[in-house]
Structure 1
């Protein structure tokens, strides 16, 4: 397997950011497992079809103040990975990766700076 180094703006952080995923049939409320300025990885209780087009709402917390929304970010995305989590022979949840298709530059920069801040606090 080839490992690629992420560009600075694509750094990944394990952050639980509140997230709403809206597709044509339903709305799912969850939180990210990890996030980059290009996409998010999360867990859902229902499957989302591969390549499904979705609308995302992220509630980015204030730096260092969990639970208080500093910035509401809305964008369009595409489901690029979906994987059932099987327990006792049945799917219990689904791990889902979503690529941010339409995210304005200001919001992308905010996410990137937020991740950079978070990672600098872990050092």
Structure 2
């Protein structure tokens, strides 16, 4: 039996939190390019849908567009360029496309910081309040 992995009920077991946001994504795989969007993103990778079957363990080049807010509330767009590896490929429920999970294998430090900043601005804490009014946060398995 597979472990429960439902972020909605606090049983998320992933090492890095993910957020469900659609972001423009371009993948370069061998001799072809695919334009798509993320279904979710974490600091360790992305999940997206593509029209072609991509074999797991395929290396890909990734271009991701991140909308960020600076400390002064100015909105900027950052282009993230990195390398990844397809770690899972599944047919979608309609059977006409493929959902793929890509692990970030090589991310420049500045781009990793931008990904983390984007994710942190969209994360919601999972507070647990006790009767003494002390706020605690549930911790997932690391």
Contact 2:21 2:41 in 1 (8 A): yes
Distance in 2 (CA, whole Å) between partners of 1:55 and 1:69 is: 23
Q: Which runs of 5+ in 1 are unaligned?
A: none
- Determine which structure has the larger helix proportion and give its number: 1
- Give the structure 1 partner of residue 85 of structure 2: 78
- Give the structure 2 partner of residue 105 of structure 1: 109
CA RMSD, aligned part only? 2.2
Q: Which runs of 4+ in 1 moved over 2 A?
A: 1-7
Bigger Rg, structure 1 or 2: 2
TM-score normalised to the size of structure 1? 0.81
TM-score normalised to the size of structure 2? 0.71
Contact 1:11 1:112 in 2 (8 A): no
- Determine which structure has the larger strand proportion and give its number: 1
- Give the structure 1 partner of residue 135 of structure 2: none
- Give the structure 1 partner of residue 64 of structure 2: 58
